[in-house]
């Protein structure tokens, strides 16, 4: 597989670990899950943001991710730890520190990747089952990342640095 360069990256896809809000999860733990459960050579995400807001390196940016089937080429995957309430139901459980770090990660990627055109949540890659041009909540394959990425970006005014904005 041909390595990707930062100049090749056109999208960032935001994920959650789909773990309960009080579970302490690290990139190393996710790496183990991806190797053991999926048979992958390493973690599928490029960055992981822990509950305390600390960011950990996953896959090197130069290696194609394994985070959205059919949409891994020229993308980077960022995973926020959490996304489920204490009972295991989807919920925006992310801390202020996690959101602050996500903002920093996206600004940094925006500076490093001149061709960046989109930042979306994993659920935004669900199929448009009714063909109306919109991905509605009834069409989501999964809730990941359990918040509206576009609304967050607009609130942060991060859409302006995208190449097509």
Give a yes or no: residue 137 inside a domain: yes
Joined tokens for residue 8: 């090749």
Give a yes or no: residue 99 inside a domain: yes
Give a yes or no: residue 1 inside a domain: no
Q: Provide mean pLDDT across the span 142-151.
A: 92
Residue 70: Cβ-neighbour burial (10 angstroms; 0-12, 13-18, 19+): exposed
Joined tokens for residue 4: 């990707």
Structure confidence at residue 1 (pLDDT): 63
Q: Give 31-85 pLDDT, tens digit per residue.
A: 999 999 999 999 999 999 999 999 999 999 999 999 998 999 999 999 999 999 9
152 vs 142, residue with greater confidence: 152
pLDDT band at 146 (very low <50, low <70, confident <90, very high): very high
Give a yes or no: residue 134 inside a domain: yes
Q: How many domains does the chain have?
A: 1
CATH number at residue 72: 3.40.80.10
Structure confidence at residue 130 (pLDDT): 78
Phi, psi of 103 (to 5 degrees): -55, -50
The rounded distance, in Å, linking the Cα atoms of 93 and 27 is: 18
Residue 143 has a CB neighbour count (10 Å cut-off) of 20
Q: Which domain holds residue 11?
A: 6-161
Cβ contacts of residue 161 below 8 Å, gap of 6+?
107, 110, 116
Check: CB of residue 74 under 8 Å from CB of residue 4: yes
Structure confidence at residue 161 (pLDDT): 66
β-pair type (47-49, 11-16): unpaired
Residue 27 has pLDDT above 70, yes or no: yes
């Amino acid at each position: 597989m041909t390595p990707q360069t930062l100049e090749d990256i056109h999208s960032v896809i935001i994920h959650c670990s789909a773990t309960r809000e009080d579970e302490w999860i690290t990139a190393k733990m996710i790496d183990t899950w991806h190797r053991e459960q999926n048979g992958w050579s390493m973690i599928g995400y490029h960055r992981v943001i822990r509950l305390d807001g600390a960011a950990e390196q996953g896959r090197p940016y130069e290696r194609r991710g394994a985070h959205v089937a059919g949409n891994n080429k020229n993308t980077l995957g960022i995973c926020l730890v959490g996304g489920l309430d204490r009972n295991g139901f989807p919920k925006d459980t992310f801390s202020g520190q996690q959101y602050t770090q996500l903002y920093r990660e996206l600004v940094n990627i925006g500076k490093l990747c001149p061709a960046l055109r989109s930042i979306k949540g994993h659920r935004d890659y669900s199929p448009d089952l009714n063909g109306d041009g919109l991905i509605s909540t009834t069409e989501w394959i999964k809730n990941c990342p359990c918040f509206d990425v576009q609304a967050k970006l607009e609130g942060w005014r991060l859409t302006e640095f995208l190449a097509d904005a």
